[in-house]
Every structure is written in structure tokens, then in C-alpha cells.
Copies of this chain bind each other. A is one copy, B any other.
Amino acid sequence: MPFRFSDTVLGMKPSEIREMNKIATTPGMISLGGGMPGPESFPKKELTDIMVYVMENYGDQAMQYGNTLGISYAIKAISEMLGKTEGFTPDISQIIVNSGSQQGLYELATVLANPGDTIITEEPTYVGAISAFSGNRLRMEGVEMDSHGMIVEKLEPLIKKLESEGRTPRFIYTIPTFQNPTGYTMGEERRKHLLEIAESHGIPVVEDNPYGKLRYYGKEVKTMRSMKGGENVIYLGTFSKVMTPGLRLGYTVAPVEVMEKFNLIKQALDLATNSFSQFVAYEYIKRGIIYKQIQENIRIYTKKRDAMVESLRENFQGRGVWSEPDGGMFSWLTLNSGADTKLMKEKAIKNGVAYVSGQAFSTYGGQKSSMRLNFTFGSVDQIREGVGRLGKITGE
């Protein structure tokens, strides 16, 4: 039977996904491509203890369907944790627990906009956000970045232009701290300015903050949600970068009126998030392990970040520009030669190194000479070797 499919166009092609999966399992291949934490960062011993404890003490609830918005234990723990780590303590009615933060992005796109509507993102932006937004047929308009994040001065002219075209943006999506893919961080002044512009035009702001706690250098910048005027910011967090991505746990903080809509779409999407994962996260926070783990991850990743930055300096001086991020998981490299990194990929893979080409992160098919390099998954030696291989093939 010939199947007919919907017209939805999504981010990555199946052939690209297959290629990525193949790369991940090729012996000797150094992948700087994915966005995976280092497995040595997983607190396996502590999680195993917690799992047994959860089964013994909350087994019937942990194995049962949970409430659509989340298990109340987990919601309360998340609220308290945010108070300690992010400077705001949302009411429990303002939190939904999701099957990873990616699901939070999908929910947003479904709830805050109709197909065909326009939204604003950074350019470049997270490939999964592009997937969630384009999967809901939203039109993305990107605001250019510099090394201090989104160039907020360019935001208001863009909004005015879109308003004059009858395309008032439905929301502004930003990853202000250690952005994916660039690693750039928006300073406090720009954050304030962004909030003011959004408020004056009545456009909701979405702050995606998966990497905020992974700061290796420099002074912490407040989350937008915790700033004056940030009370209505929709905030996305995750347990994937500190704890584990395997348990698929993220959360969204939003005003109650938005939460009611999330409640509905969450039911349609998957009824409720994994109860067991939520009880594990609850115990993980309650026992204070997460706060120690943040420090442990910083210790592990600082060395890897340094290896990445040093290798980039050694191999790309005069041949490219790259970000030297104070935290997070990624460096962003742009080649002076103007070479197309997508076309270059085959050669890279043949030479035993993988990356994600810049185009995957572009809202308009740009960023062709750039690539995203991950420095959390591989070992220090692999990072050095991988960047070295990249240096060689781009120099030929």
C-alpha cells in the first residue's frame, strides 16, 4: 500500500539520522557531533541506591500512571531546587514535568502558536528547537548573535517589521547562557533590554536554560526568569546535563494560564511523564546530590573545555574564528576559507572525526562555514585528537 504523508517538514532527514547513528558506533571515530554528557559524569552508584529506595518506598506510585503535570513530590523538589540554584522559587502550580526538555519545546510550539505563525529565535539556534518549531509549521525569524549572545539592538526593528507585515511574533525563544550551538552568553544589560522590548510589544519570552549551572569561568549571570520584569518568562530546565539524559526528565515553569494549556497538550502527547524518573529526581534533589554533582561536572568539564579551546588555538589560528565559552558543552568554529562544512563532512568522517555542520542550526539555511564542536562527551585526549584531525583536513 502506498502511504500518503503529511506535509510537515522537519529538521533532519532520515538519511542524516542514520548517518549520525552509524558514526556513533564506528570504531575509532571521535564524535564531537552529539550533545551528550560524558558518561563518567553519571552518578551511577547514587542513582542505583536511589532506585532501590524508590521501589521499596514509593513502588506502587512510581510504577503507576502519574498526574499529567507531574508527581507532586518532584514538582515541589524542583521548585525548591530552582530557589537555591536559579534565584526564583515558582509556585508548584507553575511547573510541568516533561519527558525531557525537548518535549517542553514541542508543547510551547503547539500551545502558543498556530501553524503558519511567526516566532523569533537566535540565529543560529538549537537544532531540536528548530525541529519542534518546524514540526508545528512555525516560521522562524532569527536575530543575529555576537560573542555576547543575541544582538538585542536588532530585536525591536525586527519585531516592528514583522508587526507591519501582520506577522506579530508569538514568542521569543532564547538560550541566554552558554547557547547551543555557539557557547555565547548574553550579559545582564541585554537580558534586561530583551525583557523590556518583549513586554512593550506584549510578546512572551521563552528562556531555555539547560547549561546554566555548567559554568567553568567568569561570573554568574542571573536567569531572566529571576530578574525584575521576568515573572512571566517561560523557563525550561532539564535533568539531562546534571544527573542523566537517560531518564528523560525536564520541566517548564510558566504562568498558570499557560500551564492549563500544557496540561491539555501533555495528555495528548504521552499522558504523563515517567513516574519512576520523577521519584528518582525527587530523591536526588532531596538528598542534595544534585548540588554536589554540579561541582563534580564542572570539575570534569573544565578540563575538557580547556582541551577544546587549546586545540582550537593550536590548529585554527589564522584559519578560523571560534568561541571560547565560559561554560556549557559547545564551541562554535567558523572557517575563514568559507568552505561548506556540510560538504566537508564526508572527508571528516573518513578521517575519523564527526561534528554537526552549522546549517543544521540555522533558521534560514545559513551558517555554512561553521560547525558545532562538543567537548563534554569525549575524553581530553579524544578532544585533542579530534580537533587535530579537523585541523588537518580543513588545512588540506
Interface residue ranges, A against B (CB under 8 Å): 1-8, 10-14, 17, 21, 34, 36-37, 39, 42, 44, 47-48, 51-52, 55-56, 59-68, 98-100, 102-103, 106, 110-115, 128, 131-132, 134-135, 170, 199, 202, 204, 232, 240, 244-248, 255, 257-258, 260-261, 263-265, 267-277
Contacts and interface: CB of A to CB of B under 8 A. Distances in A.
Contacts of A99: 99, 248, 270, 274
B55 A44 contact: yes
A44 B53 CA distance: 12
A146 B169 CA distance: 49
Q: How many copies does the complex hold?
A: 2
B135 A110 contact: yes
A41 B123 CA distance: 51
A98 to B, nearest CB: 8
Contacts of A257: 3
B39 A112 contact: no
A51 B55 contact: yes
A98 B269 CA distance: 11
Given A55-B44, A63-B42, A106-B270, A113 B6 contact: yes
A64 B36 contact: yes
A277 B269 CA distance: 18
**For the complex of A and B, 10 pairs with smallest distance between CB atoms:** A135-B268, A246-B275, A63-B246, A63-B244, A131-B268, A39-B60, A10-B264, A14-B260, A42-B63, A48-B55
Given A63-B39, A232-B1, A128 B271 contact: yes
A271 B98 CA distance: 12
Given A42-B59, A245-B275, A269-B269, 16 more contacts: A1-B199, A4-B170, A6-B112, A6-B113, A10-B268, A17-B267, A39-B64, A44-B55, A47-B63, A48-B59, A51-B52, A65-B240, A99-B99, A102-B270, A106-B268, A128-B271
Contacts of A271: 100, 102, 128, 248
24 contacts: A1-B204, A6-B113, A8-B111, A8-B265, A10-B264, A10-B268, A11-B268, A17-B263, A17-B264, A21-B67, A37-B64, A44-B63, A47-B55, A48-B51, A65-B246, A99-B248, A99-B270, A100-B271, A102-B269, A106-B269, A106-B270, A110-B135, A135-B265, A246-B275
Contacts of A202: 1-2
Contacts of A265: 8, 10, 135
B100 A263 contact: no
Nearest to A250: B270
A357 B231 CA distance: 39
